[in-house]
Chains A and B, each alone.
Chain A
Amino acid sequence: MLAEALGTGLELVGGWLDCGRSVARRIGAQMVDPLARLAGWGDAPHAPAGDPPAAHEPGGGETPPQSQVEEAKYYLGPARAPAARFVDRESGELPRAYGCDRILLLLRDPWWAFTYWEITPATRVHALRALGAEAEGARELLRVYDVTFITFTGDNAWQSFDVELPPGADHWYLNVGRPAASFCVEIGLATPGGRFLPLARSNVVTTPRATPSPDATVRWVDVAAGAVRESVRAWEGTPLASVASAEQAAAEVGEGRPRSSDAHTPRTAR
Chain B
Amino acid sequence: MPQASLAFVLHAHLPFVRHPAHEDFLEERWLAEAITETYIPLLEMLGALERDRVPARLTLSLSPPLLAMLADHLLRTRYLRHLDRLVELAEKEERRTRADERFHRVAEMYLARFWRARTIFLEEWGQDLIAAFRSYQERGLLEIITCAATHGFLPLLGVTPGAVRAQIEVAVAEHRRFFARPPEGFWLPECAYEPGLDAELARVGVRYFFVDTHGIAHATPRPVYGVYAPIACDSGVAAFGRDPDSSKQVWSAEEGYPGDFWYRDFYRDIGFDLDYDYVRPYLPPTGQRILTGLKYHRITGKTDVKEPYEPERARERLEAHAAHFVDARVHQVAWLARAMDRPPIIVCPYDAELFGHWWFEGPWWLEAVLRRLATTPELRAATPGDDLARHPTVQHATPAASTWGWKGYNEVWLAGENDWLYRHLHATADRLHALCRSYPSADERTRRALTQALRELFLAQASDWAFMMSRATTVEYAVRRSLDHLLRCQELCAQVERGAVDDLRLAALEDTDNLFPTLDYRVFV
User: Is the CB–CB distance between A268 and B473 below 8 Å?
Assistant: yes
User: Is the CB–CB distance between A74 and B222 below 8 Å?
Assistant: no
How close is B49's CB to chain A, nearest CB, in angstroms?
24
User: Is the CB–CB distance between B407 and A56 below 8 Å?
Assistant: yes
How close is B13's CB to chain A, nearest CB, in angstroms?
9
Residues of A within 8 A of B301 (CB): 262
Comparing B40-48, B54-62, B241-249, the segment that makes contact with chain A is: B241-249
User: Is the CB–CB distance between B394 and A220 below 8 Å?
Assistant: yes
How close is B355's CB to chain A, nearest CB, in angstroms?
10
How close is A113's CB to chain B, nearest CB, in angstroms?
9
User: Is the CB–CB distance between A83 and B476 below 8 Å?
Assistant: yes
B256 contacts the other chain (CB 8 A)? yes
Residues of A within 8 A of B468 (CB): 74
Interface size class of A (residues with CB under 8 A): 35 or more
Which residues of B, 230-280, contact A by the 8 Å Cβ criterion?
A: 232, 235-238, 241, 243-245, 248, 251-261, 265-267, 271-272
B506 contacts the other chain (CB 8 A)? no
Q: How far is the CA of A39 from the CA of B480 in the complex (A)?
A: 9
A124 contacts the other chain (CB 8 A)? no
User: Is the CB–CB distance between A242 and B241 below 8 Å?
Assistant: yes
B376 contacts the other chain (CB 8 A)? no
Q: How far is the CA of A268 from the CA of B323 in the complex (A)?
A: 34
User: Residue on B with the closest CB to A268?
Assistant: B473
User: Is the CB–CB distance between B473 and A74 below 8 Å?
Assistant: yes
Q: How far is the CA of A87 from the CA of B480 in the complex (A)?
A: 12
User: Residue on A with the closest CB to B398?
Assistant: A213
Q: How far is the CA of A90 from the CA of B256 in the complex (A)?
A: 43
User: Is the CB–CB distance between B302 and A262 below 8 Å?
Assistant: yes
How close is A30's CB to chain B, nearest CB, in angstroms?
11
Q: How far is the CA of A235 from the CA of B224 in the complex (A)?
A: 10
Comparing A12-20, A41-49, A130-138, A157-165, the segment that makes contact with chain B is: A41-49
Q: How far is the CA of A63 from the CA of B26 in the complex (A)?
A: 26
Contacts A64-B406, A66-B404, A77-B288; is A240 near B253 (CB within 8 Å)? no
How close is A10's CB to chain B, nearest CB, in angstroms?
18
User: Is the CB–CB distance between B487 and A80 below 8 Å?
Assistant: no
User: Is the CB–CB distance between A74 and B474 below 8 Å?
Assistant: yes
User: Is the CB–CB distance between A70 and B467 below 8 Å?
Assistant: yes
Give which listed residue, B22, B245, B474, B512, contacts A250 with CB less than 8 A: B245
B499 contacts the other chain (CB 8 A)? no
Give which listed residue, B226, B351, B488, contacts A241 with CB less than 8 A: B226
0/1 per residue, B21-36, Cβ < 8 Å to A? 1100011011000100
Residues of A within 8 A of B222 (CB): 212-216, 239
Residues of B within 8 A of A152 (CB): none
A5 contacts the other chain (CB 8 A)? no
Contacts A57-B408, A65-B251; is A224 near B357 (CB within 8 Å)? no
How close is A261's CB to chain B, nearest CB, in angstroms?
4
Which residues of A, 67-95, contact B by the 8 Å Cβ criterion?
A: 67-77, 79-81, 83, 85-90, 92, 94-95
How close is B72's CB to chain A, nearest CB, in angstroms?
16
Residues of B within 8 A of A238 (CB): 339
Highest count of chain A CB atoms <10 Å: which of B20, B195, B214, B223 = B214
Comparing B90-98, B99-107, B132-140, B414-422, the segment that makes contact with chain A is: B414-422
How close is B246's CB to chain A, nearest CB, in angstroms?
10
Show the binding face of B for A, using Cβ within 8 Å.
14, 19-22, 26-27, 29-30, 34, 155-156, 159, 194-195, 207, 212-214, 216-228, 232, 235-238, 241, 243-245, 248, 251-261, 265-267, 271-272, 284, 286, 288-291, 299-302, 320-321, 324, 327-328, 331-332, 335-336, 339-341, 351, 353-354, 357-359, 388-389, 392-396, 400-402, 404-412, 414-417, 419-424, 426-427, 431, 467-469, 471-476, 479-480, 483-484, 486-488, 490-491, 512
Show the binding face of A for B, using Cβ within 8 Å.
34-35, 37-40, 45-48, 55-59, 62-77, 79-81, 83, 85-90, 92, 94-95, 98, 104, 106-110, 114, 116, 118, 171, 203, 206-225, 228, 231, 233, 235, 237-243, 245-250, 252-253, 256-258, 260-264, 266-270
**Can you identify 9 A-B contacts, CB atoms within 8 angstroms?**
A58-B213, A59-B251, A67-B471, A76-B29, A94-B424, A118-B423, A240-B225, A242-B226, A260-B255
Q: A74-B468, A81-B286, A114-B419 are in contact. List 13 more A-B contacts (CB 8 A).
A: A57-B408, A65-B253, A76-B27, A76-B291, A90-B487, A109-B408, A213-B219, A218-B221, A220-B394, A242-B228, A249-B335, A257-B255, A261-B255
Q: Which 5 A-B pairs have the closest CB atoms?
A: A242-B226, A228-B236, A77-B290, A109-B409, A263-B253
